[in-house]
Each structure stands twice: as structure tokens, then as C-alpha cells.
A and B are shown apart, each in its own frame.
Chain A
């Protein structure tokens, strides 16, 4: 189906000011949309209250309104500009919210404006818990179990049915009391009682807790012909209970079999269809019980999200750009894959590397803020790294955070056993370093798992980093013992002393595990320059590999690169 010709003028809503949880990723998606739609010959009107964005640069849209993103302003712009359509799915939650409000005022009907991308019904279905639950049950998907109770007796029955731990949420409270977790019957009785008292209608919602379950996300795209593809799968390092924006996340999924992944893929496709996102991208989150594999849907974002910006960079598939094209009627098979040119965008990227995203916090600037990580996002940025192994990507990502670490470094001081347990149990910005500390101090992976519920596969990979570091230290210790001996011998024979602090095998392995020269120099108590020279001498050099969407199956014309330590360098030949 070619581009629509019945619409000429499109209003795009931006994301407004940069706040935690809604940052430059929406400038990126909005800018992409402006560029694409303009290039397709549409007249683009843009509303964004934030002038410090790329998308508000004069060349981006045909007309830009820097005004507050409120229903009244949208109404006035519509009155003045008379657009044929409004595209709300590229400006984060702000754009979706205002669009729903404007729809409820009847403005779109009055001025005959079509909402493209996700329609109002789809937005509502994904946002309203009750509607969402109903929709998911309709397509046979599981959600965390929950039920209402009006007194303690009912509450106890519900809790028994669901099993501990449970989350208790009072309905209709003054000032909005949040949920509380009960791990046992005593706690539950107490919390249910307070909950019932604080509810104006004496009602609580008791919900199965999925805290500690494995968390996954799928980035899905759909076109007007109902073709659906998965762009990227993401596994969260931190289990449920930490906001995705605050979690270390990894692409693709690492610890699901294909059967389990396909179940999730089928569920995502069913979800985007049932919610009714007609065109564009959606992000669907799942939790999986690590003990028996039970999968529940957590939520769905019917729009381009922070994760889709990440997924685009991780796979080479430009989600926002394609979403804008799909919104104006193109189908996935009509759009070429930008990187391979000869194959269409209607496929699922396959990657031959591992991507790790690590959140960046600035708790030092807010000394009074609680640095515990919870379901509300607290990070202010993130670093994404690509490597051929998880270990490499993790260490590259950590040193990209600009928090003064050059990889997975040691804590600055010793910690007590009780503090360590606490720091492992309660999610926090430095947890990854406490995990390293725990491993280094001999804590078993199973014990760390008990505290953190971080999948053993991730913990084992960290353990491999720690073990290699130990091998390096041991090797260097041995060499230095030998050196004293040798130097003594050489001095006697008048020979120059020339000692290698690392074997070629160990050094290569260290680089493949993501150790930086600086980090190795620190471990070996020498200078970065020494390691660099040694590497050059041993011909252990970074090579550059392509991000090409297809795992090298097709030729790439406009790829980008990441560095790693492998045999073949693709950046020059």
C-alpha cells in the first residue's frame, strides 16, 4: 500500500521539557518523524514547549509552535492550521496524554482531524488498568493475579488464593496512598487493616507480587496491513521491582530458550493487535517466574519509547523513522532496510554481538534523595555499549558512564557482611560493584542470587571477569617474583632487563573481557602506556565490527561500527 494521499498536513506533538524518564530520546524520535514526513512531501506542523531541542530547529518542520503542550494550545493550533492528521506516538507520554484530552474535548471530530499511529481507543486501552486487564484476558494472556476485598475476612481469602508476597493497594484514598508489600500473614493482616481504613470506600486491591521475577521487553512494529515484526528483545539484568529506566538491560534476551521466547513473541503480536495500535512501534513488558517460567504481561506502551531508541541503536533498525513512514500508509515490505539496501524493512533484525545499557545516576547532586532503586525512575541518563560478549559490553558500558570507573572496579573500602547483604538485597546504583565485591570475597553465586534475584547467567559472567582479574594479578605476581630472580641473574651477566607483565594469551583474553588498558595498568601497578605498548608489540589491537541488522548475512552499505578484540577488522581492508 503506497503513501496516503488523502492527508496533506500533519501535526506532530513533541515531548516538552526534559525530565527524568522522558529525555532526548523523544527529541530523536520527533526529529526523525519531522524529517521523514517532510521528505515525503507532507506539510509538517510541530508543537513542542522545549526550544532546546533539535526538532524545533527551523529547518525541521514547516511550522513550529513553541508553546505549552496543553489541550487548549493544541485546540488553537488545530483551529488555525487545520491539519488533516495528528501524530502523537513520537512525543512520549506527554504527547499521548494531551492527545487523549483533546479528543475528549471533541476537537478532532469538530475539525475532522485523524489521529494516526495509535488511535484514542488504543491509547486508552493500554493506559487504563481495567481495560488493559480485560483486553489481555480476552487474548488469553496471563497477568499478575489480583482481586478486591472489602473487609479483613475477604482480604485473607484473596491473599490465600494468590499466595505471598502480595501487594496491597487501597482504592480511593485521600492523597493517594501507595501500595505496600506483605511477605507473610502477620504483615498482611496489619497492612490490609490500614489499607481498608485509609480507603474511602473501604476497598483494597490485593495483587500478586512479581518482585524478583525476570523482566523482559519486546519492541514490536505493525503496519496498516497487519504485518507485525519484533525489532529487538531485551532482558533486564535487574529483576522486577526496579524501573526499566534504572535497570541494566541487555539485548538480545540471553536466558530464554526459543520456545519461551516464541511464546513471548506470540503474546506481543497478539497484544499489539488487541490493543489496536494500527501502525508504528510499541513496547511490551513481561515478567517471568524464574522457578517455573510462568509469564505475565506487565504493561504496553503504544508509542515510541526510551527502549525503542535503545533498540534502534542496538539493532540498526530506525524505529522512529519507520514508525513515521508506517503512520502515513507505507507497509513494512515497501520500505527498504537502510543498511542493507537490497532487503526490506519487513524482517526481524538479528544481531551478532551483545548490547548492554547501564543507567547513569546523579545522587551526589541530591544528597537528600533516597538512592534506593524502585519502580519510579531516578536515573538521568544511560550509557550503551556493544561487545562480542556480555563481559566486554558490560565493562565498556561501565567506563562510559563517566563516574570515575574504568571498568568493573573494586569498591573504595571494605564493607561489613551485613552491609553487603543489604546492598545486594536492596537495588541501588552501585549494586553491580557490590556484586563484584561479594564474588571477590568468596560469596557463592547461589547466595548472591538469593539476595539479588539477578539471573545466575549474569552473575556467572561477572564471576568470570573477577576470575580473570585474579589470574592477571597472580601472573604478574609470579613474574615479579621471577623478575627479582632474573634481574639478579641478568645483573650478574650484564644483560638488560626486559620483562613482560602479561602473557599474550592473558592480555588478549583480558581485552576480550572488556578490560581497558588503564584498568589493566591499575591492576598490574604500572602505567597505561606500558600496557598499550605491550599490546602493540604483541599485535593485540582493537578491530571494528559492523552493526548491520542481519548478522553479516547481507552486504551492509551504511552500517556503523563498534570496537572489539577479534580476528577480522572490518573498518579497513
Chain B
């Protein structure tokens, strides 16, 4: 039957297997399996470079409904290792839609799988933690897949940044009062868009760019971007940040906060299944105000590892009390673990870009 030929399998390193039907590209792909709880925004999720090395399962079951357009991309292409949904829509219905999700994944060689009990899968990840997984349309033998996934490389200690960072310096926007250099560890376009919206000239540079070169560009501020994988896999970025700490106003986002945390002598650790969604409540400890934030991280800075004499805890997550934001007590340096640039998710915390601009203005 035709149905049989579309079969695809997800196998996890703990031996759990799910069977579904493939869409998008065919093949076999390995990565860490995570779930995302955003109900909309699959296009932004697909193109977020932070998902490099991960297979993403959407908890909302109906995906692909509004197709794909050319505007809502967060990077030059999708980097994730696979995409899991309950039902991939056969129709794309939206005035901006240009192609279907299926077509888009085919074009970009990303394997999709549908017909999965994504709730059961999510619960499994919640209980057992994010783990290595394989998604395959060519090897349909469960035992063979489990064996292969067990032997596959995980992302601990690995440098995934080098796979997503830009190859050479690029200008995003050359109009504006303040010149911001973005250290691109896998930056989302919305960060660049927001900086541009806030009257900034925006240049982004490869993650390996050293401190001297950055200072040579004479920026008013430095933005440490989001990015994929283990923060301890990129000691060279931490070194650069260390050297620039007292030289420039710095704003870190997500992976950028982890870079900053490490540069300030803190430690990072891996969360059980991370935060991937658009509904995380974050409290600003100074004002008591709560922001609903977009999040996407598997690692976190250990709140207890930071030197409280120099560093102030500014934000915490209300769901699990993990660290969400810090600032330096003496230097114009701050960061957040969530995504103030949204894309996908709420715009509640966009004011932070204004805060960064003010910081540049005052220094």
C-alpha cells in the first residue's frame, strides 16, 4: 500500500521508538530530541539556528496550516535535524503563504515526520530528559536504529556554533546613531531587526572574531547572540567576552547570557528538557513585573555559581526559578536567558533593546 512507503521512524537512545509517516525530505538524521510548546511560529522555529543539532517535536498537533512565507525567517536556512508533528497540513491557508511546509522541508533537506503521538513523546522527554534520537525514512529496523543512535555523537561539549555562525563580517543595517557589533553565535534575524528598529547600525561578525578586531570596528556596544548547543563547547567566545567586559556596553541574549555568565566566572549546566516555548513567565526582580517570554535553551547559568558582589540577579523564571537575567553591578553589562526579540512568541520584553541603547548612550 502507498501508506507503507511513507513510513518513518523515530528512535531514542533509551530504546523508545515511534512510528509515523514522513513528509519533507527523506533520509536519516541524528540529534537531541526536544519539544516546543508554541502553538504558532513553526517557521521561526525551523529557521532558528539555536536548533542546530536538535530534532524538534511540536506539542501543538496541527502544524503547517498557514504555510511558509519569505518574511518570517530567522536565519538564512533551517538548521535543525528533524521536525516532528501530529498532523502536517495538506493546505496552506494565509494571504502571505508562498509554499507548503512539506515543500519547504523538501527544499531544505529536512526530514519531517507526522502521525506521531506527540503528547506521549513530550511526556517521555519530560520524564526522561532530552536525549539523543534518530529520525529515519530509510532504515526501518527498530533495533538497528536504536543501536545507531546509542553510538551517535551527542551535543555535550561540542562546538555547534561554528556550523551556524556567519563566514565573514556582514552589515545588516548601516543607518543609525549607535554602532552595534553582534557576535554571531547563530543570531536570529529578529535580534538584528530589533536593533535596527532601535536606531542602531548593525554589523554581525563570525563567532571566532577576537576582541581586538571587534574593538577595531569602534562599536558603541556589543551584542552576544543566541546560539546552539553546549556553552562550554566554545571557550574562544568566552575568552573574547572576558577581554571586552570592561571595554564596551554588552547585552547578551540566551546563549549570549551563558557566554557572559562563563566570562564572569560562573558555571553552566544542562536542564533536564530545557525551555522551548512562547509562554514562560519571567519576573523582573526589581519592579516585580512579569513578562511572558519566548524561550529556547537547553543550558542555563547556575544561579549559585555567580559572584554576587559583582553580579546582580535581575530576572527569574516563575515556573522553575531558574536564572533568567543578570547585570553587572559596576559595568554596563547585562543579559537575559529568554528572547526579548520574540520570533516566535510575545513582544513583552522588547523594551530591553531600548535599555541597551540607553546604556550605549550613557557610556
Q: Do A and B bind each other?
A: yes
Q: How far is the CA of A208 from the CA of B184 in the complex (A)?
A: 47
Interface size class of B (residues with CB under 8 A): 35 or more
Which stretch from B59-67, B165-173, B244-252, B302-310 is at the chain A interface?
A: B59-67
Q: CB distance A346 to B72 under 8 Å?
A: no
Q: Considering the chains assembled together, what is the distance between the CA atoms of A258 and B60 in angstroms?
A: 13
Instruction: Kindly state whether residue A539 has any CB partner on chain B within 8 Å.
Output: no
In the bound complex, CA of A460 to CA of B342 (Å)? 31
Shortest Cβ gap from A562 to chain B (Å): 11
Chain A residue nearest to B87 in the complex (CB): A389
With A332-B290, A552-B123 given, is the CB distance from A347 to B281 under 8 Å?
yes
Name the A residues within 8 Å of B94 (CB-CB): 255-257, 260
Tell me whether B39 is interfacial, beta carbon within 8 Å. yes
Residue B53, interface by CB 8 Å: no
Give B292's nearest chain A residue, CB to CB: A348
Write out the residue numbers on chain A whose beta carbons fall within 8 Å of the beta carbon of B37: 350, 352, 550-551, 553
The stretch of B151-159, B200-208, B215-223, B343-351 in contact with A is B343-351
Q: Is the CB of A227 within 8 A of B290?
A: yes
Question: With A and B bound together, what is the CA distance between A560 and B179 in angstroms?
Answer: 53
Q: Chain A 255-268, CB within 8 Å of chain B: the 1/0 string? A: 11111111001100
Residues of B within 8 A of A455 (CB): 93
Residue of chain A at shortest CB distance from B342: A262
The answer on a CB contact under 8 Å between A457 and B65 is: yes
B188 within 8 A of A: no
Q: Is the CB–CB distance between B120 and A460 below 8 Å? A: no
| B118 adjacent to A352 (CB under 8 Å) | yes
Partner of A256, one of B66, B86, B318: B66
B280 within 8 A of A: yes
Give chain B residues whose Cβ lies under 8 Å from the Cβ of A260. Answer: 94
Q: CB distance A354 to B62 under 8 Å? A: yes
* Interface 0/1 of A543-560, CB less than 8 Å to B: 001000011111100000
**How far in angstroms is the closest Cβ of chain A from B181?**
27
Q: List A contacts of B292 (CB < 8 A).
A: 229-230, 347-348
In the bound complex, do residue A350 and residue B59 qualify as a contact, i.e. CB atoms below 8 Å apart?
Answer: yes
- Chain B window 23-48, contacts with chain A (Cβ cutoff 8 Å), 1 for yes, 0 for no: 00000000000010111110110000
Is the Cβ of B120 less than 8 Å from the Cβ of A568? yes
When the two chains form their complex, are residues A350 and B60 in contact, meaning their CB atoms are under 8 A apart? yes
Shortest Cβ distance from A545 into B: residue:
B119
Chain B CB within 8 A of A370 CB: no
User: In the complex, are the beta carbons of B93 and A456 less than 8 A apart?
Assistant: yes
Contact B40 A256 (CB under 8 A): yes
In the bound assembly, the distance between CA atoms of A566 and B123 in angstroms comes to 14
* CB-CB under 8 A for A457 and B93, given A551-B60, A551-B122: yes
Contact for A346 among B1, B117, B318, CB less than 8 A:
B318
Tell me which residues across on chain A come within 8 A of B62, comparing CB atoms. Answer: 254, 354, 389-390
B-contacting 9-mer, from A53-61, A95-103, A290-298, A481-489 = A290-298
Query: Does A464 sit within 8 A of B, measured CB to CB?
Result: yes
Q: Which residues of A contact B117 (CB under 8 A)?
A: 566-568
Pair A464/B90 contact, Cβ less than 8 Å: yes
Q: For residue A252, which residues in chain B have a CB less than 8 angstroms away from its CB?
A: 39-40, 60
User: Contact at A505–B93, with CB atoms within 8 Å?
Assistant: no
Task: Tell me the minimal C-beta distance from B58 to chain A in angstroms.
Answer: 9
B346 — which chain A residues lie within 8 A by C-beta? Answer: 262, 265, 348
What are the interface flags for A326-366 relative to B under an 8 Å C-beta threshold, 1 for contact and 0 otherwise? 00000011000000001110111111111000000000000
* Closest Cβ neighbor of A549 among chain B residues: B279
- Count of chain A residues with Cβ under 8 Å from any Cβ of B? 57
Count, A-B residue pairs, CB within 8 A: 162
Complex alpha-carbon distance, A570 and B124, angstroms: 12
A226 at the binding interface (Cβ < 8 Å) = yes
Asked if B318 and A566 sit within 8 Å, CB to CB, the answer is no
Question: Contacts of A226 on B, CB cut-off 8 Å?
Answer: 289
A45 to chain B, nearest CB (A): 33
Q: Which of B47-92 contact A (CB under 8 A)?
A: 59-62, 65-66, 69, 71-72, 86-87, 89-91
Give bound CA distance, A552 to B117, whole Å: 12
In the complex, the chain A residue whose C-beta lies closest to that of B319 is: A343
CB neighbors of A among B91-141 (8 A): 91, 93-96, 117-120, 122-123, 126
A174-188 vs B: 1/0 string, CB under 8 Å? 000000000000000
Which of B44, B72, B119, B278 meets A352, CB within 8 Å? Answer: B119
Alpha-carbon gap, A322 to B288, bound state (A)? 19
CB–CB B3/A505 < 8 A:
yes
Q: Which residue of the partner chain B has the closest CB to A227? A: B290
A225 to B18, CA, bound (A): 46
Which chain B positions have C-beta within 8 A of A389?
61-62, 86-87
Which residues from chain B contact A346 at a C-beta distance below 8 Å? 281, 290, 318
Q: Convert B275-308 into 0s and 1s, putting 1 for each residue whose CB lies closer than 8 angstroms to a CB of A.
A: 0011111010000111010000000000000000
- Cβ of A125 under 8 Å from chain B: no
| Interface check A388, CB cutoff 8 A | yes
Q: Is the CB of B86 within 8 A of A293?
A: no
Say if the beta carbon of A253 comes within 8 Å of chain B.
Answer: yes
The answer on a CB contact under 8 Å between A343 and B66 is no
Given A346-B290, A348-B279, A353-B61, also A292-B93 (CB < 8 A): no
Q: Could you say which of B39, B123, B319 contacts A351, with CB atoms under 8 Å apart?
A: B39
**B86 — which chain A residues lie within 8 A by C-beta?**
388-389
Q: In the complex, which residues of chain B have a beta carbon less than 8 angstroms from the beta carbon of A568?
A: 117, 119-120, 123
- Which residues from B are CB-within-8-Å of A353? 61
Q: B329-344: which residues lie under 8 A (CB-CB) from chain A?
A: 342-344
Residue pair A255, B281 in contact (C-beta under 8 Å): no
- How many Å lie between the Cα of A252 and that of B65 in the bound state? 12
B119 touches A262 (CB 8 A): no
A147 to B93, CA, bound (A): 33
Q: B277's contact among A350, A351, A555, by CB below 8 Å, is which?
A: A350
A464 to B318, CA, bound (A): 42
For the complex, give the distance between the alpha carbons of A390 and B69 in Å. 23
Assembly CA distance A517 to B94 (angstroms): 35
> Do B288 and A225 touch across chains, with their CB atoms under 8 A apart?
yes
Compute how far the CA of A261 lies from the CA of B345 in the bound complex, rounded to whole angstroms: 9
Q: Is the CB of A352 within 8 A of B61?
A: yes
Whether B61 lies near A258 (C-beta < 8 A) is no
User: In the complex, what's the smallest C-beta–C-beta distance from A51 to chain B, in angstroms?
Assistant: 41
B contact residues around A233 at 8 Å (CB):
39
B122 touches A457 (CB 8 A): no
Q: Is the CB of B95 within 8 A of A344?
A: no
Check A258/B41 contact, CB under 8 A, given A347-B281, A553-B277. yes
Q: Are B277 and A352 in contact (CB under 8 A)?
A: no
Are A350 and B93 within 8 A (Cβ)?
no
The answer to whether A227 and B59 have CB atoms under 8 Å apart is no
Among B72, B95, B119, B292, the one with the most A-chain Cβ atoms within 10 Å of its Cβ is B119
Q: B122 — which chain A residues lie within 8 A by C-beta?
A: 352, 551-553
Report the separation of the CA atoms of residues A344 and B317 in the bound assembly, to the nearest whole angstrom.
11
What residues on B are CB-neighbors of A348 within 8 Å?
A: 278-279, 292, 346
18 contacts between A and B (CB under 8 A): A227-B289, A258-B343, A259-B343, A265-B347, A293-B95, A333-B281, A342-B319, A343-B319, A347-B318, A350-B38, A351-B60, A352-B122, A460-B90, A551-B122, A553-B126, A567-B120, A568-B117, A570-B123
Given contacts A259-B71, A455-B93, 14 further A-B contacts (CB under 8 A): A225-B290, A255-B65, A261-B40, A344-B281, A347-B292, A348-B278, A348-B279, A348-B292, A352-B60, A388-B87, A551-B35, A551-B59, A552-B123, A553-B126
